[in-house]
Structure 1
Amino acid sequence: MRLVPFGALTDDDFALWRAIRDSDPRWNSPYFTPEYIAAVHNGRPVEVMLGDGFVWPLHKSGSAAKPAGSPGADFQGPLVEPGVRFSPRSLLASVGIRSLTFDHLLDGYQDLDPWTEEKRVSPFMDVTGGLDGYTKRVDKSGRDKMSEARRLTNKAARDLGPVEFTVDARDGLDHVIALKREQYASTGARDHFADQVNQDLLYRLFDSDLGLLSTVYAGPHLLAAHFGIRSQGVLHWWFPVFNRKYGNYSPGWILLREMVIAAPDLGITRIDLGRGEDEYKRRAMTGSSTVCIGAVTSGMRTSARRMSRAAVAAAKASPIAPQLKALVRKFR
């Protein structure tokens, strides 16, 4: 096993990477492309663990590591040829890594199962065949929201001006980031874009073949926008935003419906919505993947992590959880 700086990878290394990725559709997500990792590496160094039939891009700090793109990568994990088995501890020790934490590990790695502490749902939309195909697969709740979005699109056109959807907008990323930061502030969530490195990554991806910025306007008014990344028929729904001023038009659903309609022309058959069980994801999903949270560590560290996660889970389940959250926001 070798740990190679991303910038030192050879053509043969990239050929191995792409061959493994093409061997299994579970790695169709753009997060597993060399192009995504290249964009990440240009802002934060990536080292790649390479072996026979094995590729895993990582961020290494001292003797600790995380999957490349953390904490922004919504799917993580090594690319492994069929039949290849590995011992996570031995693998890491061979390249000087003592601990590796993950929070969006794609489920299904048998050798990493013992190190998984929690599993979460990551919904997706099968949009094969566009809107007609999608509405045949989604449940009644999702169909109803799509019908409502059509009606509200017409209402927005009457009230605000002609509705225009641009699937591949060439400007407006600044506005998306600003609206997303406003959303983080209003909900008390951690501001992902407080770190300039994360903003810069979006601009690099925007200028690449992976990035896709889509917008919906009604007259001169921006209703909603989304920036995501795409590869091999998969669009990852990453940073959706909407203008709160026009919230009564359900602008997020208007945008999502337009994207489903546009999917066949883009060659998109699946929209990954990312980890979480937000209401819109539950309604829009036609299926789901599973992602895992955990760490490969020493025995004592593993026990401590499990105890810590158990304590957090108990606190969330407590009747006073809402008051605790409010207190945390107050002093954040």
Structure 2
Amino acid sequence: MIIKDFADLSGAELDAWHALRAKNPLLDSPYFHPGFAAAVHVSNPVQVVVEREAHKEHNGVTALLPCHRDGSTLRPVGWPGADFQGPILAPGTTFDPCGLLTGGVRAFAFDHLVDGLAEAEPWILSRRPSPFIDVTGGLDGYLGRASRSGKDNMGQARRRTAKAGRVHGEVRFAADAVDAESLARVIELKRAQYEATGALDYFAEPGRAELLTRLMHTRDTSFGGVLSTLHAGPHLLAAHFGMRADGVLHWWFPVYDPAFGNLAPGWMLLRELIAAAPEMGITRIDLGRGDDEYKRRAKTGETMVAQGLVTRNRARLLLRRTRESLASTVRSSAVGPALLRRVRRFRNR
């Protein structure tokens, strides 16, 4: 293995990235597209672990792992905002995570590793579901696959959209807008949500708002940011900023204006997006890991993502295992949500 700066990757290595990803259906998320690493690299240096084997196709490249170096720890590219993580490699290819522990690197930490990397099993401490929505066939197709709860919420969203039009003015939906003002409002509302829930403020870190702007202006046919907005009259009711790669849209930063919370505008926006999916060329919306009620209601399926730590330091691994166990206990507890909010607020002081 060698580690290279993203900007130093050769054309042949980038071609190998595309080719290996195209062969592996587990890597169809936009997080695995080199366009994501390129956008992140502008403000947060990305290094790429490159593994080669002589006499192989794709210039001998068998695997690539884009990541950040944080002292002696490697973290997946885009951390902590990467909802899918793992090496870029063809199905059936082996990748030994212990090979990363060289050159002063003492650990590789992951929290959304996609299933399928057998060599990572000794280092996996927990797994959590990552729900998705199959939107093949648009709204009619979705309603044929949705749970009773999903269908009920879509029906309510239709009625509330009509009500919003009567009360607040004409309802307008934009599936893929390039709108700096609306993007700024998305970030403003998301930061207010972080504050209200005690969650870590993703946008407190310099450069992350600019990352979304770069992605919004990325108009590559196979990759780019997607800003979807729902207005009623002059009011922005709800919006979402995510990324797409070919037919997969990742649901990343959904927001709604609390002043219109009685309308459940998030469901209204999601309904419009599902209806627009065929025209956009979208067949799946990945909702990302999380226990949110709307995800449980809306999903048509789920995959699993793993949390863990590759290290030779047994004490550090034990500490991480204890943290994962405690977190799992809190999530399953009846008082879990309230306790998590208190822990977050304490941590953020």
TM-score, normalised by the number of residues in structure 1: 0.95
Residue 138 of structure 1: aligned partner: 146
Q: CA deviation at 1:95?
A: 4.8
Other-structure match for 1:151: 159
Whole-angstrom distance in 1 between the partners of 2:345 and 2:275: 42
- Contact 1:193 / 1:199 at 8 angstroms: preserved in 2? yes
Q: Residue 326 and residue 129 in structure 1: after superposition, are their counterparts in 2 closer, same or farther (change >3 A)?
A: closer
Does residue 1:222 correspond to 2:236, yes or no? yes
Alignment root-mean-square deviation, CA: 1.7
Structure 2: state its 5+ residue gaps.
Answer: 53-61
1:303 aligns to what? Answer: 318
Instruction: List aligned pairs for 1:1-332, cutoff 5 A.
Output: 1-52=1-52, 53-89=62-98, 91-171=99-179, 172-209=182-219, 210-300=224-314, 301-314=316-329, 324-325=339-340, 327-328=342-343, 331=346, 332=349
Which letter maps to 1:60?
A: R
| Distance change in 2, residues 1:7/1:221 (3 Å) | same
What displacement does 1:18 show?
0.5
Note closer, same or farther for the CA distance 1:75–1:96 as it changes in structure 2 (3 Å cut): same
- In structure 1, what is the Cα distance between the partners aligned to 2:321 and 2:268? 42
SS at match of 1:123: strand
Aligned letter for 1:223? Answer: L
CA displacement, residues 83-112 of structure 1 (integer Å, 9 cap, x when unaligned): 3223221x1134542200001111111111
Unaligned runs of 5+ residues in structure 1 are: none
Identity of aligned residues (%): 50
Distance, in Å, in 2 between the alignment partners of 1:35 and 1:136 is 34
Distance in 1 (CA, whole Å) between partners of 2:260 and 2:237 is 6
**Which consecutive aligned stretches of 4+ in structure 1 deviate over 6 angstroms post-superposition?**
none
Counterpart contact for 2:242–2:253, Cα < 8 Å? yes
Cα contact 1:2–1:95 (8 A) shared by 2: no
TM-score, normalised via structure 2 length: 0.90
Give the drift of 1:284. Answer: 0.5
Residues 3 and 95 of structure 1 are in contact (CA less than 8 Å); yes or no, is this contact kept in structure 2? no
Are the equivalent residues in 2 in contact too, given 1:164–1:217 (CA < 8 A)? yes
CA distances 1:107-128 after superposition (whole Å, capped 9, x unpaired)? 1111111111010110000000
Tell me how many residue pairs correspond in the alignment.
331
Distance 1:161 1:211 in 2: 28
Q: Is the 8 A contact 2:4 2:49 kept in 1?
A: yes
d(CA) in 2 for partners of 1:199 and 1:292? 27
Q: Distance in 2 between matches of 1:273 and 1:27?
A: 16
Give deviations 1:172-200, integer Å, cap 9, x for gaps: 11111001111111111111111122112
Q: 1:311 to 1:162 in 2, by over 3 A?
A: closer
**138 and 296 in structure 1: CA distance in 2 versus 1, 3 angstrom threshold:** same
- Amino acid in the other structure paired with 1:10: S
* In 1: Cα distance, 2:242 partner to 2:150 partner: 21
Output the CA distance in 2 between the equivalents of 1:266 and 1:321: 38
Counterpart CA distance in 2 for 1:156 and 1:47 is 48
Alpha carbons of structure 1 residues 3 and 193: separation in structure 2 relative to 1, 3 Å? same
CA separation of 1:159 and 1:293: change in aligned 2, threshold 3 A:
same
- 1:123 touches 1:275 (CA, 8 Å); kept in 2? yes
Provide closer, same or farther for how the CA distance between residues 252 and 33 of structure 1 changes in structure 2, counting only shifts above 3 A. same
Aligned partners of 1:126, 1:4: CA distance in 2, in Å?
Answer: 37
- Please say which of residues 80-89 and 62-71 is displaced more in the overlay: 80-89
- Mean Cα deviation higher: 304-313 or 211-220: 304-313
Query: In the aligned structure 1, how far is the partner of 2:35 from the partner of 2:151?
Result: 35
Distance 1:236 1:315 in 2: 27
Query: Is the 2:95–2:117 contact (alpha carbons within 8 Å) kept by the matching residues of 1?
Result: no
Query: In the TM superposition, what whole-angstrom CA distance separates every residue of 1:266-314 from its partner, at most 9, and x where no partner exists?
Result: 1000000010121100111000011111010114122232233334444
